[in-house]
Amino acid sequence: MSRTARIERITKETNVLVVLDLDGTGQAEISTGVGFYDHMLHQIARHGGFDLTVRTVGDLEIDAHHTMEDTALALGAAFDQALGDKAGIRRYGSATVPMDEVLVRAAVDLSGRPYVVHDEPVLAPYIGPVYPTSMTRHIWESFGQSARITLHVDVLRAARPGGHPDAHHVVEAQFKAVSRALREATAIDPRNAGVVPSTKGAL
């Protein structure tokens, strides 16, 4: 069974296309106009093992908010669509990812119930010229809402001795950890073939 999705989200602020294959090989074609965000979405594909196309044209002449938010909403909707009735999946996934001085833990439940918990230290306001670090929480909230998942992302360690957190490392480790958790949760469980992993019979 093909576990793929195609989502188009068009508003007065953005035009977003997301194409997703959960059983891919980590290939990605990403273009949002926000360079660091493109780099992070590549992490989703590579470390999740998903094939992913994202093309977003947004009102960057205002700021990056609408572009990043609507892309996250479309990406979450693509995961929800590709998972279908969720029969046979593992459902739960978690990962702890180090990146130099940073350590991040992510846990996901493909529960059908949107709930996001996000904890990170105060970071420099921007990574590169366009990516506002305050948007990272909102990305996870938007993604979790439209994917209909429970997601916890915790930065367990961040500061260099005597220094401040490296925002690039903190955010990138989050995307890598979430990617690995999603990879585990969306995987087919050979011991649960064709069965929805819930006593309710539906997710």
Q: Is residue 50 part of a domain?
A: yes
Alpha-carbon torsion 126, 140, 52, 169, what sign?
Answer: positive
Q: Is residue 194 part of a domain?
A: no
Q: What is the CATH number of the domain that holds 109?
A: 3.30.230.40
Q: Is residue 195 part of a domain?
A: no
| Domain limits for position 27 | 4-186
How confident is the model over 25-43, as pLDDT tens digits?
999 999 999 999 999 999 9
Q: Is residue 154 part of a domain?
A: yes
pLDDT-above-70 percentage for the chain: 100
Helix axis angle for 65-83 and 167-186, nearest 10°, is 20
C-alpha dihedral over 36, 37, 38, 42, to 10 degrees?
Answer: 100
pLDDT score for 4: 98
User: Quick one: average pLDDT of 94-122?
Assistant: 97
Helix axis angle for 135-147 and 65-83, nearest 10°, is 30
Q: How would residue 160 be classed by pLDDT, with cut points 50, 70 and 90?
A: confident
Angstrom distance (rounded) from CA 166 to CA 130 = 17
159 pLDDT exceeds 90? no
Q: Is residue 202 part of a domain?
A: no
pLDDT score for 112: 96
Give me the number of domains the chain comprises.
1
Angstrom distance (rounded) from CA 108 to CA 118 = 12
Chain-centre distance for alpha carbon 102: 18
pLDDT score for 84: 96
pLDDT score for 12: 97
C-alpha dihedral over 77, 168, 38, 107, to 10 degrees?
Answer: -20
User: Quick one: average pLDDT of 74-85?
Assistant: 98
Q: Is residue 21 part of a domain?
A: yes
How confident is the model over 51-73, as pLDDT tens digits?
999 999 999 999 999 999 999 99
pLDDT score for 201: 87
Q: Is residue 198 part of a domain?
A: no
Q: Is residue 84 part of a domain?
A: yes
Structure tokens at 31: 């273009």
93 Cβ contact partners less than 8 Å away, ≥ 6 residues apart: 107, 108, 180, 181, 182, 183, 184, 185, 186, 187
